[in-house]
Amino acid sequence: MATNYAKYAQLIKHSSNYAQRMKRLSNRIFGEVAIPTNPKSMKVVKMFSAKPLHTNEEIIHYYPRHVETHALVLRLREYGLFRDEHQDFKEEMKRLRELRGKVKVWRRYADKEKTD
């Protein structure tokens, strides 16, 4: 059997039509470039042979932990150590609506049936 593999290896090195086709086939099987191309076209080959982005740790953990950061900011705001102007504005608008008597009363569907 070893002689058959050696024979195929020797055939691939030759420049016959069969050897070229076998070389292209083996390149396709093993994920290499089937037909030699210029360096500009190799850019696409490199992109597809690169590690997928969803397995890259640098990209997966790029963004900070938003949930924990938000909880921390809320706690710091309660203690008076952080100023959230947007939240202050929303609370002030809600307070002013209450003073004008414009508070929305939310009733559940079951509550509406009882009053009807």
- What average pLDDT does the segment 57-62 reach? 82
Residues 11-28 have pLDDT tens digits of 666 678 887 888 888 888
CB 11 within 8 A of CB 22: yes
What is the CB neighbour count within 10 angstroms for residue 27?
Answer: 14
Q: What is the pLDDT of residues 101-114, one digit of tens each?
A: 998 888 877 666 66
Per-domain boundaries in the chain: 2-38+45-51, 61-103
H or E element that contains 66? helix 66-79
Report whether 94 contacts 88 (CB < 8 A): no
| pTM of the shown model | 0.39
pLDDT number for residue 50: 80
Model confidence pLDDT, tens digit, residues 20-50: 888 888 888 887 777 777 777 778 778 877 8
